[in-house]
Structure 1
Amino acid sequence: MKYIRKTTEPEVLANFKAQANEDWQPNYELLRGEDKKQFHQHLITEQGHICCYCGERIVRTDSHIEHFQPQTEYPHLELDYFNLLASCQQKIQPKEPRHCGMGKGDWFDDRLLVSPLIADCGEFFEYTVDGQILPTREPEKAERATETIERLSLNIRKLQATRASAIEGIYGEELELILSEDEIDKLIHYYSQTDNEGYYQPYCQTILYMLNQEKMDRFK
């Protein structure tokens, strides 16, 4: 999970909400058409084109607008910009496993759900070379991490495989990284930043964890 730094509410959403009057009150169901498409794309761009939960590459046609605190329980937040994210999956195909926002559904527990809107969200999780996501061993964070992984189905076979593929892209088939400390630092910098077009690399947080562990094990 990568920290999402929210920016200023985009004009398209602000203008939609500004139409409110005595006879008409905007709600999420009324956000449609081009306005919704523009807002959805804004969220994707803000996140560096990766899912707010798993970190895979997303596009508008295969992702959805996610209410971090669900509309069913928090209707007053349905158009709150700071409650709206972009999550992978849109139309679920037959037998396709649900995960991330689709897996979470209407569940929310502020004490147990790790939010991608907190700066240290990445510190709640660890990763293995075969693509597993695990809770941190820090006791004060482990329970939240465990519940988040389970509720969002972050450790299903599909996500393990794609994370493992991303790791192999750095380590090679032998899963052995033979680089100098300076070379590792350059990779850490690369995966910490968006490219010139504003894209993070898919599963960048997974790669950053692996690189930082490699650096600690070999050079500290």
Structure 2
Amino acid sequence: MPTTITGLVLLVVLLLPGLTFVLVRERQGSERRPTPFRETGTVVFGSVVTELAVLVVFAAVRGLMPRHTPDVGRLVREGSPYAQLHYAELLWWAGGLLSAACALAAVVALLTAGVPHSSAMSAWWVMFEKWYPGENPRVGCVLEDGSYVEGHLASFNVSSDDLPDRDLVLVEPLKYRAPGAVETLDFPWGSVCVSARRIVSMFVSYPPAPEQARAGEGAAAPGSAPAAS
């Protein structure tokens, strides 16, 4: 760990693009729990690659417009005297290059996120996100005491591990069947939180695809008379 303010600032500058990459990737899929070594390596590698790319672009701009860019050679040779004389310009360029590196890391994260393999994801993620993403499915849960609850999926824990200490939220219209009962009744509440620890089995119903819905609307109802020619 850095022991001075300068060292801390340099550490933040070096790792911020990689941290941006990791955070954007986490928002694009299920939450994963890599080892500390792997996560640190991802942050460092992402920072180094994006910052090198930005420095290459800066070098090209420096070659085309030397009068409008900081003189890196003088900064290396003179050090503090040059930095004190051109501190405003250096700060603006440093902030711009760091912002460009973070933006590049975010773009790369969005382009490379993709869909993770099912073997690395939880069963919930496969049912709710991979098979029919964004379809607002209807979910029915049989609980360990024999009761049953049903509703539209509102949110669920996106952890890649099938852990019992997580939950999902169902919203109206809700249905509920008490333990030992036969009939499922409408439940007059807006939402319900169901713990994974209490779920024995889960049923998921997806809305029909648009082409299937159009085909169903165009089909004749059973028992209806054919249209007159």
TM bracket, shorter-chain basis: under 0.3
**TM-score, normalization: structure 2?**
0.22
Structure (1 or 2) with the larger CA radius of gyration: 2
**TM-score, normalization: structure 1?**
0.23
Greater percentage in strand: 2
